[in-house]
């Protein structure tokens, strides 16, 4: 099952991302829907490319924008530097451009956006900034101190995936987000798992929780199928 790096237009500039399509994954003609996959702070690393291919295998046209413009790392100190230097307006434009690129590759209607770690809250921000493009948001344990979505503009339903032992994005943090979304008239469902932060990342054995990941993946696919 393959994917490829592509270039696409984002706010008049050229961005790049990793594209995976149902045809390339052996999933046949696909379901006509699209998903934007948002990276963790490490960058557009092989794990995110793999998740993008997994969505293609489920029938989606999937694209992971490269928010770091080619930079990637396995070192926490460097990832922290990139994370704190995040330009959320630039990231949001790249994500909106990725949604439009999905349409050019066969996706119809509003698309889903799924983000991991930093990417989770960035996904929500992008969906609020571009409600005409996104019809569903999945936030895997997302947070960033400088990212503040416009909750009143968020129209897409949100599913939050949270580890009960996550010391960074705690269940209380997730509940506070849910309260903000619902107070603004939106919809948010929170699923808690007996795991820590980044438990879905199977490229990091020290944090990965296979059982929780399998259940979360099933819930994500059911949520996207019902929402898009």
Q: What is the pLDDT of residues 138-165, one digit of tens each?
A: 999 999 999 999 999 999 999 999 999 9
- Counted domains in the chain: 1
Give the per-residue pLDDT at 30: 85
- CA distance to 118, 205, 209, per residue, from 65 (Å): 14, 25, 26
Domain with residue 179: its CATH number is 3.40.50.1820
Q: Which of 171, 167, 222 is nearest to 192 (CA)?
A: 171
Give the per-residue pLDDT at 25: 67
Give the per-residue pLDDT at 28: 64
Task: Note down the domain range covering 58.
Answer: 4-227
With a CB cutoff of 8 Å and minimum separation 6, the contacts of 14 are: 7, 8
Q: Provide the percentage of residues in the chain whose pLDDT is more than 70.
A: 97
For all residues of the chain together, what is the average pLDDT?
96
Burial class (CB within 10 angstroms; exposed 0-12, middle 13-18, buried 19+) of 112? buried
Q: Which of 159, 161, 223 is nearest to 197 (CA)?
A: 161
Instruction: Examine the pLDDT at 222 and tell me if it is beyond 60.
Output: yes
Burial class (CB within 10 angstroms; exposed 0-12, middle 13-18, buried 19+) of 190? middle
Q: What's the token pair of residue 190? A: 């929170």
φ, ψ (nearest 5 deg) of residue 197: -65, 145
Instruction: Examine the pLDDT at 1 and tell me if it is beyond 60.
Output: no
* Residue 69 region by backbone torsions, left for phi larger than 0, else alpha for psi between -120 and 50, else beta: left
CA–CA separation, 60 and 30 (whole Å) = 6
Instruction: Examine the pLDDT at 112 and tell me if it is beyond 60.
Output: yes
17-31, 64-78, 182-196, 202-216: segment of lowest average pLDDT:
17-31
Do the beta carbons of residue 220 and residue 214 sit within 8 Å? no
Instruction: Examine the pLDDT at 26 and tell me if it is beyond 90.
Output: no
């Amino acid at each position: 099952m393959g994917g490829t790096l592509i270039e696409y237009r984002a706010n008049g500039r050229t961005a790049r991302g990793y594209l995976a399509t149902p045809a390339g994954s052996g999933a046949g003609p696909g379901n006509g829907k699209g998903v934007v996959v948002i990276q963790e702070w490490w960058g557009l690393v092989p794990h995110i490319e793999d998740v993008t291919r997994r969505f293609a295998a489920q029938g989606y046209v999937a694209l992971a924008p490269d928010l770091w413009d080619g930079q990637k790392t396995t070192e926490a100190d460097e990832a922290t530097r990139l994370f704190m230097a995040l330009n959320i307006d630039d990231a949001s434009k790249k994500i909106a451009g990725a949604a439009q690129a999905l349409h050019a590759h066969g996706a119809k209607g509003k698309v889903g956006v799924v983000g991991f770690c930093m990417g989770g809250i960035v996904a929500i921000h992008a969906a609020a900034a571009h409600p005409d493009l996104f019809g569903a948001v999945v936030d895997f344990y997302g947070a960033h101190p400088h990212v503040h979505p416009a909750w009143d503009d968020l129209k897409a339903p949100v599913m939050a995936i949270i580890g009960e032992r996550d010391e960074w994005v705690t269940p209380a943090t997730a509940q506070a987000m849910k309260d903000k979304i619902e107070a603004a008239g939106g919809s948010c469902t929170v699923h808690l798992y007996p795991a820590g932060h980044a438990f879905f990342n199977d490229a990091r054995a020290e944090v990965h929780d296979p059982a929780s990941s399998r259940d979360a993946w099933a819930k994500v696919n059911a949520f996207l199928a019902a929402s898009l």
